[in-house]
Copies of this chain bind each other. A is one copy, B any other.
Amino acid sequence: MSFLSRLVRPSLEATAHCDLPCGVYDPAQARIEAESVKAIQEKYQGNEDPDFRSRAIEIKEQRSELVKHHLWVLWTDYFKPPHFEKYPELHELFNKATKAAGGGAGGTKSSNDPATGQALLDQIAEIDRIFWETKQAA
Contacts and interface: CB of A to CB of B under 8 A. Distances in A.
Contact of A39 (B22, B31, B32, B135): B22
A9 B5 contact: yes
A2 B132 contact: yes
Secondary structure at the A interface, as helix, strand, loop or mixed, is helix
Interface residues of A, number: 71
B6 A8 contact: no
Query: How many chain copies does the complex carry?
Result: 6
Given A10-B4, A12-B4, A55-B61, A19 B132 contact: no
Contact of A55 (B36, B55, B109): B109
Contacts of A3: 11, 132-133, 135-136
